[in-house]
Amino acid sequence: MKLQLRSCHKVTTKLVALFLLLLTNTLLFAQNQKILKGKEISGTVINDDQLEFLKSHQEALKEFEQPTSLGMMEVPVKVHIVKSSSAGSASIDEIKTAFAALNKHFIQIYVQFVPLGDYNYVSNDKYYEFNKEDENALCGSNDLKNVINLYIVGSISDGPLKFCGYTYYPSDLEKNTDRVILSNDCLADGVSLARQMGHYFTLFSTSGLQVSETREWVNGANCETEGDLICDTPADPGLELSTVDERCGYIGKKQDQSGRKRFYKPDTKNLMSNNPRLYCCDHFTEQQYQKMLYAAINLRTYLKFPKSQYSKRQLKVLAEDKGLDGQVSVYMQGNEMPVVRNGNLYLNDKETYATNTTYNIAVVNKQKGYIYVLEGDAERGIYLQYPKKGDKVFFKGETTAEFIIPSNMERLKVDELKGKEGKNHIVVLFSKKQLRIEQLIDEMNSIEEYMDVVQRIYTIIGTDLIPSNNLTYDKNGIQVQGIATDQQVMPVIIEYKQP
């Protein structure tokens, strides 16, 4: 009898423990879920000039194909933090975390947003509780030309309406309003900033431009002229808290206007949907990416990094302690591989190299720092080629260091596996700080999405990489110099292809 009681007691204890564990996990899950109440996700609107301008590019967009090779397109963002005397404002760490999340959404099209190091603080209680009618008063004297100006405020209202953020579509190839206004409490939700950058690069809400319900049909027959004008996003009647369940399923009962009484089946997880359950929203579609890439290459070409805040004399002094200076050559079967530069990418676009082609990598280092050499492709992942066991990783910079990889005088071989369109990459990292390189490579290779070497590197250590605008590229060969101020790692990226 005692044995039975003890057994029952043990079972009861386990059940209680299990219940408490489930309850705790449920509460934690609920806390992590972001549900928007009392405001809209976006206040971005489009005027006639902007709409006409974008429609004039519809035919070119249909013909547009992503280039087979792309250097990373780094977009400069001037961050303006509006402060209040009685409330907290965004911290630098919070902003960096938000940009890291944002960049993961845009890495698929080789776009990365880079906050300029000199953050601008605006102390003003009135503008902290921001009303759209005060935009010019706040932004007119603070905007920086030819960059995206991101204003982080306490709240955003336009009359009785409240929003997480808003921005502007382009209406010209040069003169536009390059602003994103974002509410501080929406900075960390993982959706609002990506949503506004989606708008900035010409995406519409998946529910379309109509104030009333969309006229896009469920079967997609009129997708090119109605809704968001994109055909791989399902027709969306507009989402509300009552029409999306806790597991992100659509439970609305609306039917389209085709006359066939088709029930809507919207994508509740699209970043451009108006789903107030923000924890659902996690992706763009292929055609949305295509449209944003077209805008980045063709419509927002005027965006550029401002000139250095340092004088030539200051840069010279900084270079002595913080400078990075390296040269790289790749020898395919004993012959130096010719390359051309596209942004921060060195590309051999004239030749292809078959499986088992042998090669070596020659590195010249002229400054104090660490050196790492990575190689691989989207299929194989990333491999560390330098340093190996016994190799020197730190260089004092007292003399120019030259060495060949592999250091045992053997040769590397082009692997039979290859990435999309035959792409392979060699990346040399010149760094002012020591990297936990093996752990970082494990993180890069653990990414489940299909990515090439460059995308994986930027996803994991992009915030540490010096933007290409802050690097100096020699006209001859692969020679790069930089100064490690805000970022500590200078990437040298080389691409070659297999047939």
* Mean pLDDT of the region 43-70: 94
Percent of the chain with pLDDT over 70: 93
- To which H or E segment does residue 451 belong? none
Place of tokens 């915030």: 463
Among 99, 480, 106, 98, CA closest to 288: 106
Going through 339-449 in order, the beta strands assigned E by DSSP cover: 340-342, 345-347, 358-365, 369-377, 381-386, 394-395, 401-405, 412-413, 423-431
Indicate if the pLDDT at residue 29 is higher than 60: no
Where does the pLDDT of residue 81 fall: very low under 50, low under 70, confident under 90, or very high at 90 and above? Answer: very high
Tell me how far CA of residue 232 lies from CA of 129, 214, 285, 289, in angstroms: 38, 16, 7, 11
CB 364 within 8 A of CB 402: yes
Q: Residue 493 has what DSSP assignment?
A: E
Collapse the DSSP code of 56 into the 3-class scheme (helix H, G, I; strand E, B; otherwise coil) and give the result: coil
Average pLDDT over residues 143-157: 97
Q: Supply the pTM of this predicted model.
A: 0.90
Residue type, 385: Q
Residue 440 has pLDDT above 90, yes or no: yes
Three-state secondary-structure class, residue 496: strand
Burial of 233 (0-12, 13-18, 19+ CB in 10 A): buried
Write down the pLDDT at residue 319. Answer: 82
Range with lowest mean pLDDT among 180-189, 399-408, 428-437: 399-408
CATH class of segment(s) 48-200: alpha beta
DSSP string, 320-343: HHHEEEEEEEEEETTEEPP-EEET
**Which range is least confidently modeled, 7-21, 26-40, 91-105, 414-428?**
7-21
Question: Is the pLDDT confidence value at 374 over 80?
Answer: yes
Q: What is the pLDDT of residue 27?
A: 39
* Predicted pLDDT of residue 5: 43
Closest by CA to 413, choosing from 332, 358, 463, is 358
Q: Which range has the worst mean pLDDT, 32-41, 97-106, 185-194, 462-471? A: 32-41
Instruction: Tell me what the mean pLDDT of segment 263-287 comes to.
Output: 97
H-helix or E-strand containing 150?
Answer: strand 148-153
Q: Is the peptide bond before 387 cis (omega within 30 degrees of 0)?
A: yes
In this predicted structure, the answer to whether residue 407 has a pLDDT above a threshold of 60 is yes
pLDDT surpasses 50 at 30: no
Which two structure tokens, joined as six digits, stand for 270? 């699209």
Report, as an integer, the average pLDDT of 354-375.
96
- What is the pLDDT at residue 281? 97
At 83 the three-state DSSP class reads: strand
Q: Taking 60 as the threshold, does the pLDDT of residue 19 lie above it?
A: no
- N-terminal to C-terminal alpha carbon distance within the chain: 77
Share of the chain above pLDDT 90, in %: 78
Secondary structure string (H, E, C) spanning 237-296? CCCCHHHECCCCCECCCCECCCCCCCECCCCCCECCCCCCEHHHCCECCHHHHHHHHHHH
Residue 371 is given by DSSP the state E
Q: Where are the domains of the chain?
A: 1-32, 48-200, 312-497
* Least reliable range by pLDDT among 183-197, 315-329, 423-437: 315-329
pLDDT at 261: 85
Rounded average pLDDT over 154-174: 95
Mean pLDDT of 237-260: 94
pLDDT confidence band for 32 (50 / 70 / 90): low
* pLDDT value for 68: 86
